[in-house]
Amino acid sequence: MYHRKKGRRLGRRPDHRKAMLRNLAISLIEEERIETTVTRAKEVRRLAERLVTYAKRGDLHGRRLIVQRLGNNPDAAEKLVDDIAPRYEKRAGGYTRVLKTGFRRGDAAPTALIEWVEQELPKRKKKSRRKAESAESGTEKNPVEETPSEESLAKDADVEQPDAEPSSNAVADTDASAEEEQAAAEPEAEVAKSVPDADSIDAGDEPASETTDDTES
């Protein structure tokens, strides 16, 4: 009976299962992100996090345990001790994450992405509602460009147009005004002719009407 047994069999013999998990752990250390089935990702996570704990010890015994578990792979062991382990000095466990990515094409096995957890991002400070409204009201709005009106466009067009020939309506208006001026000047000339000159009156010339009156008397 399968009671009180840790780990997953993964459909492999013990030696094959150990070699597969070792290869997955080496790939995770070198690439820092791999995609596999969900069950394999959960199983290799146990091995990878234990190796990080050995690397954080920083002693010779820890390095020997890492090399032993990785199958005498000094490059992967060196990267784990010198590069990956220092990232998690202030972190007590939980060095990897497993993200489900869907299903594998062919046998529809559920797949997942396992990767190292990076440093935590700083928490963003939430702005209060009043500060956000004051910031929005204080921002200057972009000035709106005024579109020229039709009257201003017409005036500009009149100014820019060159001197053109007078139209027929303008010629008719000038002719009518000239005729009116001429008609107004004719009665003034007739009145000026009927009135005697002041020089003739001073010389003693009398009008013809007075001479006729004297002869009758």
Domain boundaries defined on the chain: 14-116
Identify the three-state secondary structure at position 116: strand
pLDDT of residue 59: 93
Model-wide pTM > 0.85: no
More confident residue, 146 or 41: 41
- 20-24, 25-29, 95-99, 153-157: least confident range: 153-157
pLDDT of residue 171: 56
pLDDT of residue 6: 85
Give residue 111's Cα distance to chain centre: 38
Class of the CATH domain delimited by 14-116: alpha beta
Q: CA-to-CA distance for 41 and 95, rounded, in angstroms? A: 13
Torsion of the alpha carbons at 186, 189, 194 and 196, rounded to the nearest 10: 170
Structure tokens at 134: 């004051």
Q: Tell me which DSSP letter residue 80 carries.
A: I
pLDDT, tens digit, 9 for 90 and up, residues 137-177? 665 455 555 566 666 666 666 655 555 455 555 556 666 67
Q: CA-to-CA distance for 89 and 25, rounded, in angstroms? A: 20
